Structure formats: C-alpha cells, structure tokens
C-alpha cells in the first residue's frame, strides 16, 4: 500500500497546474473471462484499464492490469478450490513535451503484486527521454530510455533496492482499418551484478468487431533474472479479451 500511495502522489504531481485546462482524453477497458466445468474446472479473469490524456505541456498515461485464476484441485469429492494466479500491475507515466513533435522528458512509476512470483511486491521509479523514431499511416515506433531505481521485497521479508536503466518501446502496424499488430517491450536492467533485471513483452493482434468494441489475442512474457528458490524465471500468459474504447 505504501508503494501505491507513492505512485498516486507522483501521478497527481504530473497533472498539477496544467490540469485546469480542458484536455483531450482517451481510454480503453479490457476484459476476458474463461470458465470451464466437467473433468476440469477453472475460472480465469483478466482485466485492464488504460487511460491517456493530453495537456498543453504534458502527455499522461495510467494503466491497471489484473489477472486471477482459480482451479479445482483433486478428484471426486476430494476436490478443493485453489487460487493458482493472482496479480495486479499499476503504472503511471508523464511526458513533458519538449517541442511540437514527439520528443519529451518522462517520469515513470510502477507497482506490481504477484502472489505466486516469489516477490511480495516489485516497484520502479524512472526518469529519462522519450521520442518517436518514425510514424506512417500504417505504423509507428516510439521508445523511452533513462535511469531509475527499483524497490523489491521477496516473500519472507527480505528487501532489495537497485539502480537500473529502463528501456521501453512500442511498435504498432495496421493491417487494415479494422486490424492491427502491437508489440510492447520493456526492461529494467540492473546496473549492479547480482541484482534483478526485469523484462516484459506483450505481442498482440486485435480486430474491430463493431463501433468501439474489439477482440484482442495476446501473448505476454515476464522474465526476472534473479528469483527466490523454487521459482521460475519466466512467466507467460496467453489471453483472448474484449476491448472497449472510450
């Protein structure tokens, strides 16, 4: 909760002063639910809320991701319900515009709580430079780069802090007016040996169904170079969700 409060303070600071002006805004709500019964009984829920708004000097983005999965473990009358995945990720980024194009200075903060990762929480604060390498009618590529600091706590109470270099990129290609491919990649590379480097990737294809409603298929990979004993370095998620733009 302490890290969430810190992120909220940072996000509020990004919009202070300029927030009085009317600002164009856009957002998306993403939701996927899978329920199976019979020989295998599972319930999976994946949700996301993303919001972006433009001010005179700032471009701000906020995001909340959540994943929950419950399985029935055992056979016959011995079956018990057990949570097998439970995590959420919260982030905020503010880009201070340097010109009328896409160059900006950014400040970024994130907090992740993954019950089964071996970490009680993982949080990051970073600042740096962002820009767009190119943009056409069909595609674009933008990136962020800058120094930061991570605050992690391993299950059991051990805390770890480290200076990092944060690199993030987003590529999008439109197949048509109704379908597109998006690739997002970020890494928080530790600047000290023996410290954790965290990398996330999301590859997604989405197609418009009608109006503001789309369907999205995504493959997400999260890799931690240093993890607690008996934990895997890499987690993957394959999802199919509905996306509503507002």
Task: Give residue-wise pLDDT tens across range 89-109.
Answer: 999 999 999 987 789 999 999
The tally of CA atoms less than 13 A away on the side-chain side of residue 133 is 12
pLDDT of residue 39: 66
pLDDT of residue 22: 52
Mean pLDDT, the chain, rounded, equals 89
Which 3-state string (H, E, C) describes the chain? CHHHHHHHHHHHHHHCCHHHCCCCEEEEEEEEEEEECCCCCEEEEEEEEEEEEECCCEEEEEEEEEEEEEEEECCHHHCEEEEEEEEEEEEEEEEEECCCCCCEEEEEEEEEEECCCCEEEEEEEEEEEEEEEEECCCEEEEEEEEEEEEEEEECCCCEEEEEEEEEEEEEEEEEECCEEEEEEEEEEEECCCCCCCEEEEEEEEEEEEECCEEEEEEEEEEEECCCCCCCCCEEEEEEEEEEEEC
Task: Give residue-wise pLDDT tens across range 183-203.
Answer: 999 999 999 999 999 999 999
pLDDT of residue 34: 84
The full set of domains in the chain, from first to last, is 2-15+25-245 (2.40.160.40)
pLDDT of residue 15: 47
| pTM > 0.95: yes or no | no
Quick one: pLDDT band at residue 224, thresholds 50, 70, 90? very high
Q: State mean pLDDT over 156-183.
A: 95
**Residue 20 in this model has a pLDDT that exceeds 80:** no
pLDDT of residue 121: 95
**Residue 222 in this model has a pLDDT that exceeds 60:** yes
Between 73-82, 124-133, 209-218, the lowest mean confidence (pLDDT) is in: 73-82
Maximum distance among all Cα pairs of the chain, rounded to whole angstroms:
66
């Amino acid at each position: 909760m302490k890290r969430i409060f810190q992120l909220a303070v940072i996000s509020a600071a990004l919009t202070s002063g300029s927030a009085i002006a009317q600002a164009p805004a856009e957002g998306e709500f993403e939701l996927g639910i899978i329920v199976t019964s019979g020989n295998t009984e599972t319930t999976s829920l994946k949700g996301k809320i993303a919001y972006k708004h433009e001010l005179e000097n700032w471009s701000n983005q906020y995001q909340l991701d959540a994943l929950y999965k419950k399985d029935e473990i055992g056979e016959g009358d011995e079956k018990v319900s057990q949570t097998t995945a439970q995590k959420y990720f919260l982030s905020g980024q503010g880009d201070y515009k340097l010109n009328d194009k896409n160059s900006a200075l950014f400040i970024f903060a994130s907090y992740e709580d993954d019950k089964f990762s071996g970490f009680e929480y993982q949080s990051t604060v970073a600042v740096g430079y962002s820009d767009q390498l190119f943009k056409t009618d069909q595609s674009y590529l933008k990136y962020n780069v800058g120094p930061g600091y991570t605050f992690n706590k391993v299950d059991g109470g051990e805390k770890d802090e480290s200076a990092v270099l944060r690199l993030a990129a987003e590529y999008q290609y439109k197949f048509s007016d109704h379908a597109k491919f998006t690739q997002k990649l970020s890494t928080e590379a530790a600047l000290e040996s023996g410290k954790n480097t965290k990398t996330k990737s999301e590859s997604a294809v989405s197609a418009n169904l009608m109006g503001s409603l789309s369907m999205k298929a995504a493959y997400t990979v999260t890799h931690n170079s240093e993890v607690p004993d008996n934990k895997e370095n890499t987690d993957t998620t394959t999802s199919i969700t509905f996306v509503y733009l507002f």
